[in-house]
């Protein structure tokens, strides 16, 4: 693990003797307690990576959009890592498509912040497609090294939606351009690298650096205690989902699989439907709703309403609990209390939930897709089954629940694998090496950066009220 290289000492004297770098996460605020808009994993990544990079000697500024009117402008994570909230559009939670026309304001605010601080970021690491657009614009303004992490891909995410949003083609174009024009794209698994090559572009430089889990936070706790905290009886068999309720996360597959398990458990052995021991906990969006012990609240997003209707239709509403969004601090209790954590995604570039569950010693049954093939070792730390295959998920869940000895073996191996391979300190060490190499190249080659083709101005003719900002002379208005 290495920190900033000595040759840059001269350029970092104005404010600090550390090398400043910027992480941009327009739509995944690392300080938010209630993240909306599809960027939960991204906000975890940016916070963990930022803090770990600061420990390695970098001066880390994380830039995100101000989404709370009365939130602090700057939040210090530690002496050398902070999050800066920049104004861009109304200070409320917005969908990604709603944020898009406000990106010029975001860039202008970031540049004003740099000027005020008297600092310059020679390296910018962008996260998510909105940040990619911002990074491409900033790269046209000055000699910055641009690193990008996707976190998700529009063409995969939208596949599961009944109707593609109007922003889809623009997002796709940006996601292609960032691969072609960034100095490095960080893929979080070999499977993500393969998907980027297949779906985005054959040119552009990719380096594989995985995600991590906070190993102090996610660790094996006494299961009985976790159960007691959540009011779950010892004999209950708990199936857990943690994540967003976006269609491509495949929660419907899990609910249907769970209903199959429930039906079979009721019709065999001693359990009658009324004394069935299975419970499904769905941790994710919004407030608590329904189920065995939750209070009834109004669901707050259409996908969740659809899923709530499905559990009723399948007759498992009384054994299903929509837990709502759980704070990061409290998640280990849920992972530990569960007998199996199910990740039924249609696709995951990495899938943080898999390694968090495994770090807590909870076996995982996951779709045989993307980064889940990289993190979950079938038969050793859990099971991989074909994505969207309801019966295969049901059989996988039953296999783990049926054999306590095997589940215990999976538990040990799962925790061991995460400890060996996926720590944020190791991720930051690898990123640090990459940044150092890129910065060294930019100095020795003087003008390494070249202007790529201009990225189309985000404000298309359909939103003509927003004028292009004058500082960006290289950007074409359409
Ligand atoms: N998460 C959370 N509270 C919740 C649901 C999820 O803190 O109620 C966190 C979870 O711990 C994980 C992240 O959100 O770190 C989800 O990341 P993942 O890569 O699994 O999915 P993404 O949302 O990035 O597609």
Q: What is the DSSP letter of 215?
A: T
Greater pLDDT, 333 or 456: 333
Please report the pLDDT score of residue 10 as a whole number.
Answer: 33
The whole-model pTM stands at 0.87
Q: Determine if residue 294 is left, alpha or beta; phi over 0 gives left, psi from -120 to 50 gives alpha, anything else beta.
A: beta
DSSP letters along 288-344, please? -BSTTTPPP----SHHHHHHHHHHHHTT-GGGEEEEE---TTTHHHHHHH-SEEEE-
Q: How many helices (H) and strands (E) does the chain have?
A: 16, 14
pLDDT (0 to 100) of residue 40: 85
What is the pLDDT averaged over residues 285-306?
Answer: 57
244 lines ligand 1 (CB under 6 A): yes
Higher-confidence position of 301 and 367: 367
The pLDDT of residue 139 is above 60: yes
Summarised one tens digit per residue, pLDDT across range 6-25 is 323 333 334 568 999 999 99
Residue ranges and CATH numbers for the domains of the chain are: 17-212+426-443 (3.40.50.2000), 223-421 (3.40.50.2000)
293, pLDDT greater than 70: no
- Burial string for 151-169 (b: 16+ CB within 10 Å, else e) reads bbbbbbbbebeeeeeebbe
- Taking CA atoms only, the protein residue closest to ligand 1 atom 22 is 41
The DSSP line for 377-438 is -BTTTEEEE-TT-HHHHHHHHHHHHH-HHHHHHHHHHHHHHHHHH-BHHHHHHHHHHHHHHH
C-beta of 287 in contact with ligand 1 (< 6 A): no
More confident residue, 449 or 345: 345
pLDDT band at 292 (very low <50, low <70, confident <90, very high): very low
How far, in Å, is the centroid of ligand 1 from the Cα of 358?
Answer: 14
Tell me, what DSSP letter sits at residue 102?
G
Residue 375, CA distances (Å) to 131, 149, 477 in order:
26, 18, 43
- Dist. CA 325 → ligand 1 center (Å): 10
pLDDT at residue 459 is higher than 50: no
Query: What pLDDT does 302 receive?
Result: 84
Per-residue model confidence (pLDDT) at position 464: 26
Mean pLDDT highest for which of 27-36, 268-277, 342-351, 448-457?
342-351
Tell me if 326 CB under 6 Å of ligand 1.
yes
The CA 306 to ligand 1 mean position distance, Å, reads 21
* Ligand 1 centroid – CA 196 distance (Å): 22
Confidence of residue 287 (pLDDT cuts 50, 70, 90): low
**Buried/exposed 281-310: b ≥16 CB within 10 Å, e otherwise:** bbbbbbebbbbeebeeeebeeebbeebbeb
Ligand 1 neighbourhood includes 366 CB (under 6 angstroms): no
* Contact in structure between 307 and 245 (CB atoms under 8 Å): yes
**How do residues 91-116 score in pLDDT, each as one tens digit?**
999 999 999 999 999 999 999 999 99
Residue located nearest, by CA, to atom 16 of ligand 1? 41
Q: Which atom of ligand 1 is nearest to the CA of 284?
A: 8
Protein residue closest via CA to atom 17 of ligand 1:
41
Predicted local distance difference test score (pLDDT) of residue 161: 82
Does residue 462 carry a pLDDT above 50? no
Q: Is the CB of 110 under 6 A from ligand 1?
A: no
CB 390 within 8 A of CB 369: no
Of the segments 11-15, 130-134, 322-326, 410-414, which one has the largest average pLDDT value?
130-134
Output 432 or 268, whichever has higher pLDDT: 432
**What average pLDDT does this structure show over 54-71?**
97
Q: How far is the CA of 71 from the centre of ligand 1 (A)?
A: 22
Range with the poorest average pLDDT among 174-188, 279-293, 366-380, 391-405: 279-293
Mean pLDDT score, 369-391: 97
Q: How far is the CA of 49 from the centre of ligand 1 (A)?
A: 15
């Amino acid at each position: 693990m290495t920190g900033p290289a000595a040759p840059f000492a001269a350029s970092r004297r104005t404010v600090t003797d550390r090398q400043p770098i910027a992480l941009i996460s327009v739509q995944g605020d690392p300080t938010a307690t209630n993240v909306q808009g599809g960027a939960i994993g991204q906000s975890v990544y940016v916070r963990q990576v930022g803090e770990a990079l600061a420990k390695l000697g970098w001066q880390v500024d994380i830039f995100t959009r101000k989404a709370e009117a009365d939130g602090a402008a700057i939040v210090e994570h530690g002496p050398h890592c902070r999050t800066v909230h920049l104004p861009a559009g109304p200070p409320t939670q917005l969908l990604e498509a709603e944020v898009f026309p406000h990106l010029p304001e975001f860039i202008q605010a970031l540049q004003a912040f740099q000027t005020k601080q008297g600092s310059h970021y020679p390296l910018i690491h962008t996260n998510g497609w909105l940040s990619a657009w911002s990074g491409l614009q900033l790269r046209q303004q000055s000699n910055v090294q641009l690193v990008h992490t996707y976190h998700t891909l529009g063409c995969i995410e939208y596949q599961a939606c009944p109707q593609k949003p109007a922003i889809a083609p623009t997002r796709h174009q940006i996601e292609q351009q960032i691969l072609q024009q960034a100095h490095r794209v960080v893929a979080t698994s070999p499977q993500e690298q393969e998907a980027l090559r297949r779906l985005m572009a054959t040119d552009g430089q990719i380096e594989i650096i995985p995600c991590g889990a906070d190993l102090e936070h996610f660790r094996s706790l006494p299961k009985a205690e976790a159960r007691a905290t959540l009011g779950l009886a010892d004999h209950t068999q708990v199936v857990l989902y943690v994540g967003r309720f976006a269609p491509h996360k495949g929660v419907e597959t899990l609910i249907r699989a769970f209903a199959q398990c429930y039906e079979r458990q009721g019709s065999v052995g001693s359990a009658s439907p009324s004394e069935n021991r299975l419970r499904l906990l769905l941790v994710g969006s919004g407030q608590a709703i329904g189920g065995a012990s939750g209070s009834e609240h109004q669901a707050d997003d259409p996908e969740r309403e659809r899923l709530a209707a499905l559990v009723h239709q399948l007759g498992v509403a009384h054994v299903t609990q929509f837990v709502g969004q759980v704070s990061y601090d409290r998640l280990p209790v849920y992972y530990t209390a569960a007998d199996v954590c199910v990740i039924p995604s249609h696709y995951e570039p990495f899938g943080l939930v898999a390694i968090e569950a495994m770090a807590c010693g909870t076996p995982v049954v996951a779709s045989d897709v993307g980064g889940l093939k990289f993190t979950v070792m079938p038969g050793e730390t859990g099971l991989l089954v074909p994505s969207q295959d309801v019966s295969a998920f049901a059989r996988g869940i039953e296999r783990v629940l049926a054999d306590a000895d095997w589940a215990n073996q999976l538990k040990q191996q799962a925790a061991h694998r995460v400890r060996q391979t996926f720590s944020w300190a190791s991720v930051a060490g690898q990123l640090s090496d990459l940044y150092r190499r890129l910065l060294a190249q930019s100095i020795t080659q003087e003008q390494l950066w070249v202007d790529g083709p201009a990225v189309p101005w985000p404000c298309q003719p359909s939103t003509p009220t927003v004028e292009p900002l004058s500082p960006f002379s290289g950007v074409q208005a359409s």
